[in-house]
Amino acid sequence: MDHQDRFDATIAADQRIEPRDWMPEAYRRTLIRQIAQHAHSEIIGMQPEGNWITRAPSLRRKAILLAKVQDEAGHGMYLYAAAETLGVDREELTELLIAGKQKYSSIFNYPTPSYADVGVIGWLVDGAAICNQVPLCRCSYGPYARAMIRICKEESFHQRQGYELLMAMTSGTDAQRAMVQESVNRFWWPSLMMFGPPDDDSPNTAQSMAWNIKRHTNDELRQRFVDMTVPQAAALGVTLPDPGLRWNPERGKHDFTQPDWDEFMAVVKGSGPCNAQRVAHRKRAHDEGAWVREAASAYAAKRAGRAAA
Ligand code: FAQ
């Protein structure tokens, strides 16, 4: 059996590919692309909510938000580590992000002007992330699949904290309920875009599904998210801003309006409301951290020298 046959047989048997196994170059490249984008999303995704850490309305809310944002940094680290098993370097991936040569999720290019956005991000954005990521725990590439197990457990805590915050706000004053509704109106459409373009316009899905990297198409997961979210919105007493949203008894699913795919493409290409700000902030943090990386390498070199002596 040659390398390719062994790889094909492993995929056909729904088993895992591990870092030392032979893999086709295109499989490696697709994984690096997806895992790097995912890692960058976690790291850039710290910014919209991080914006509220200094202004959280109580010590309890601040502690919860700090923990969530720190978890996102941790997710970025697990994912960069998974990408490194494919032969790339984290430093190199960060440089590509800062140079605008690798993507991160469109959702993080929208602003967070209201504290209700913290709850709505937890509910809708983490909710969408969970829908998309639970199937990735069964991805054919071992290190990515294992990283996703831990990430999904933490994402479900994130989703709960968002929902709990929204429950508190919607049981509060009219002004608080209005804040929640206003935030839902802004985040609903970008949340639907998180799943990627419609299946007919998704160049990567078919091959990624054949390789057992993706387990469902973008449209299947988007539908699952809508069906999951509708009863949660009803329980909160908020309206999802889609006049076309209704239960379809024949399909046993909700019909809904597609988001504005031209807006999605513009955001992905760099013209979203916060793209420039997000990347500039990441670059500043990276530049300011240069001395830490230098000190860590000097320390590691010194220890290696001592061990060799
Ligand atoms: N934004 O052919 P497809 C989180 C690109 S959750 C930007 O369908 P694919 C947690 C796509 O890369 C968010 N670009 O691609 C959190 C491709 O371009 P390329 C991160 C997008 O890969 C919560 C092109 O469009 N989650 O961080 C987007 O088969 C709260 C054509 O698309 C993940 O990354 C988009 N929304 O499917 C953190 C999950 N959608 O690469 C903080 C893992 C598509 O050819 C706070 N990733 N594109 O140049 C995936 O599941 C997949 O990569 C998809 C895209 C589903 C995102």
pLDDT tens per residue, range 253-296: 999 999 999 999 999 999 999 999 999 999 999 999 999 999 99
Distance 299 CA to ligand 1 centre (A): 37
Distance CA 104, CA 107 (A): 9
- Look up residue 244 and give its two tokens: 């076309």
CB 239 within 8 Å of CB 74: no
> What confidence score (pLDDT) does residue 290 get?
95
CB 137 within 8 A of CB 148: yes
What's the token pair of residue 58?
Answer: 């109580």
Give the distance (Å) from ligand 1 centre to CA of residue 171.
Answer: 34
- Give pTM, 2 decimals: 0.96
Question: What is the pairing mode between strands 253-255 and 246-248?
Answer: antiparallel
pLDDT attached to residue 309 = 76
**Contacts within 8 Å (CB) and 24+ apart, 203-210:** 204/30, 207/26, 207/30, 208/30, 208/34, 210/11
For the chain, which ranges sit under pLDDT 70?
Answer: none
Long-range contacts of 251-260 (CB under 8 A, 24+ apart): 253/223, 253/226, 253/227, 254/223, 254/226, 254/227, 254/230, 256/192, 256/226, 258/192, 258/198, 259/189, 259/190, 259/192, 259/193, 260/189
Residue nearest to atom 49 of ligand 1 (CA): 103
Give the mutation target among 32, 41, 117 for probing the ligand 1 site: most ligand atoms within 8 A of CB: 41
Give 239 Cα–ligand 1 centroid separation in angstroms: 27
Pocket test for ligand 1, best of 140, 268, 275, 278 (most atoms within 8 A of CB): 268
Distance from Cα 94 to the centre of ligand 1, integer Å? 17
Residue type, 79: L
Ligand 1 binding residues, C-beta < 6 A = 33-34, 37-38, 41-42, 45, 72, 103, 105-106, 121, 125-126, 129, 132-133, 193-197, 202-205, 208, 214, 218, 268
Distance 194 CA to ligand 1 centre (A): 7
Residue 39 amino acid letter? A
- Whole-number Å distance, alpha carbon 81 to ligand 1 midpoint, is 19
